[in-house]
């Protein structure tokens, strides 16, 4: 069973507990929703879903002609399960689970991106110079000097951070399946990745904010080696997926109008946005504010900006057996809702 967790004002950073909450109510339920008077929105307590917290905190849901209820989840697979059960109308989560949902025949498509290029490849500072000089051979040098492989720790295989890491390794000429000098271990949750860094349990990671900001604030020796923009321009991450019923109603455009406003708000009001991060995710305001200045904080709405790079993720998802075959962008995206705004 999927386990939705408590919504915005009653959560702690990257922690989960059960429940739902109603966060918006229009004046005329169903009056402009094309027969729908409720929207259930799945989201996760992560930076790439920041538009949710801004939309909630700034009261944008009051302008939607339906009652908006948020359900917080700890991972993408649980959201996919909830979508399959018909319990979710809109999902704000990773591009890979979105493709899995579509591949399983769930009638939904991606109508917006939440962020692009939000991941970073981080590595021990002592590795940086060797890598710049030796490229792929740096991993063998590390193993020879340390007596153990270079260990990356990131989200489970097939997740967005994992795909970016494997894409980058492939691009530099390293196959972890055949190269004993590189090891990738699975870690669930950004807070657990940070703990693994802090405890010297891993040598590098592929991860999004706020982990890089926390690592820098704590003077960690694991620092940024490559940003996603340097590895895969336009890299997708969290997206907004809508059921066909929502996409065929006026609610789709109304929700995306709020999404656009939230994206603009994040760029124009970083101090106020940091307060929403504190309230919604539970991250200290000062660090939330620092994370918004990160080169990884590239919040967008236009799904067309991630379309090209999404095919890389579709290829990996098919190769991992997460989807039956590579999905075309026509199967993944509905660009018309955004284009109609």
185-227 pLDDT tens trace: 999 888 999 999 999 999 999 999 999 999 999 999 999 999 9
pLDDT, tens digit (0-9, with 9 covering 90-100), for 19-67: 344 444 333 333 345 568 999 999 999 889 999 999 999 999 999 999 9
Residue 93 scores a pLDDT above 60 = yes
**Which percentage of the chain shows pLDDT scores above 70?**
90
Q: What is the rounded distance in angstroms from the CA atom of residue 310 to the CA atom of residue 312?
A: 5
| 145 in the same domain as 89 | no
Q: pLDDT grade, residue 320 (50/70/90)?
A: confident
Q: What is the rounded distance in angstroms from the CA atom of residue 64 to the CA atom of residue 28?
A: 9
| 92 in the same domain as 49 | yes
Q: What is the rounded distance in angstroms from the CA atom of residue 104 to the CA atom of residue 218?
A: 42
Answer yes or no: is 70 within a domain.
yes
For 327, the domain range is: 8-115+235-339
| 134 in the same domain as 221 | yes
Number of domains present in the structure of the chain: 2
| 227 in the same domain as 212 | yes
Answer yes or no: is 200 within a domain.
yes
What mean pLDDT is predicted for residues 156-185? 93
- Going by C-alpha positions, the residue among 111, 149, 98 that lies closest to residue 323 is 98
- Going by C-alpha positions, the residue among 187, 164, 169, 179 that lies closest to residue 316 is 164
| 240 in the same domain as 215 | no
- Going by C-alpha positions, the residue among 114, 206, 105 that lies closest to residue 155 is 206
| Cα 140 to Cα 24, 85, 131, 137, 145, distances in angstroms | 55, 47, 10, 5, 9
| 252 in the same domain as 108 | yes
Residue 294 scores a pLDDT above 70 = yes
Last residue of a domain, one of 180, 203, 231: 231
Q: CB atoms < 10 A from the CB of 328, how many?
A: 11
pLDDT at site 88: 96
DSSP code of residue 86: T
Answer yes or no: is 152 within a domain.
yes
Answer yes or no: is 1 within a domain.
no
Average per-residue pLDDT for the chain: 90
pLDDT at site 34: 54
Q: How many residues appear in the chain? A: 341
* Residue 50 burial (10 A CB sphere; 0-12, 13-18, 19+): buried
CATH classification of the domain holding 151: 3.40.190.10
Q: Give 3-state DSSP helix, strand, coil % of the chain, rounded to 5.
A: 45, 20, 35
- Going by C-alpha positions, the residue among 229, 267, 260, 277 that lies closest to residue 47 is 277
pLDDT, tens digit (0-9, with 9 covering 90-100), for 229-278: 999 999 999 999 999 999 999 999 999 999 999 999 999 999 999 999 99
Residue 2 scores a pLDDT above 90 = no
| 239 in the same domain as 227 | no
Per-residue tokens: 332? 């993944």
Last residue of a domain, one of 177, 207, 231: 231
3-7, 13-17, 45-49: the lowest-pLDDT one: 13-17
Higher pLDDT pick, 13 / 111:
111
31-45, 143-157, 326-340: the lowest-pLDDT one: 31-45
Answer yes or no: is 279 within a domain.
yes
Answer yes or no: is 125 within a domain.
yes
Residue 117 scores a pLDDT above 80 = yes
| 252 in the same domain as 301 | yes
Q: At what angle do helices 50-57 and 270-280 cross, to 10 degrees?
A: 100
Answer yes or no: is 60 within a domain.
yes
pLDDT at site 189: 85
| 178 in the same domain as 269 | no
| 222 in the same domain as 210 | yes
| 227 in the same domain as 183 | yes
| 148 in the same domain as 16 | no
**Dihedral sign from CA coordinates of 341, 305, 315, 186:** negative
Answer yes or no: is 3 within a domain.
no
Last residue of a domain, one of 203, 231, 259: 231
What mean pLDDT is predicted for residues 143-160? 94
CB 187 within 8 A of CB 155: yes
């Amino acid at each position: 069973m999927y386990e939705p967790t408590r919504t915005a004002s009653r959560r702690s950073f990257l922690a989960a507990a059960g429940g739902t909450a109603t966060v918006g109510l229009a004046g005329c339920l169903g009056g402009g929703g094309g027969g729908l008077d409720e929207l259930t929105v799945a989201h996760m307590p992560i930076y790439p879903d920041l538009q949710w917290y801004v939309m909630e905190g700034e009261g944008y849901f009051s302008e939607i002609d339906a009652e908006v209820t948020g359900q917080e989840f700890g991972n993408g697979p649980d959201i996919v399960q909830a979508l399959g059960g018909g319990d979710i109308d809109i999902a704000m989560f990773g591009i890979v689970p979105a493709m899995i949902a579509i591949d399983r025949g769930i009638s939904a498509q991606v109508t917006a991106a939440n962020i692009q290029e939000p991941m970073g490849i981080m590595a021990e500072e002592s590795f940086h110079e060797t890598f710049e000089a030796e490229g792929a051979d740096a991993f063998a040098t590390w193993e020879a000097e340390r007596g153990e492989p270079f260990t990356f720790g990131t989200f489970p295989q097939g997740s967005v951070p994992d795909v970016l890491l494997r894409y980058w390794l492939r691009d530099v000429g390293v196959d972890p399946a055949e190269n004993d000098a590189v090891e990738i271990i699975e870690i669930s949750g950004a807070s657990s990745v940070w703990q693994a860094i802090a405890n010297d349990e891993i040598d590098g990671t592929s991860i999004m904010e706020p982990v890089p900001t926390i690592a820098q604030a704590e003077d960690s020796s694991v620092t940024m080696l490559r940003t996603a923009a340097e590895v895969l321009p336009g890299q997708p991450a969290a997206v907004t997926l809508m059921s066909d019923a929502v996409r065929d109603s006026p609610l789709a455009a109304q929700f995306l109008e709020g999404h656009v406003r939230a994206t603009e708000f994040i760029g124009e009001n970083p101090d106020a946005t940091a307060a929403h991060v504190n309230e919604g995710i539970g991250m200290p305001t000062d660090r939330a504010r620092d994370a918004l200045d990160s080169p990884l904080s590239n919040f967008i709405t236009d799904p067309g900006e991630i379309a090209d790079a999404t095919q890389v993720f579709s290829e990996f998802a098919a190769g991992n057996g997460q989807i039956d075959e590579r999905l075309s962008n026509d199967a993944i995206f509905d660009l018309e809702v955004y284009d109609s705004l």
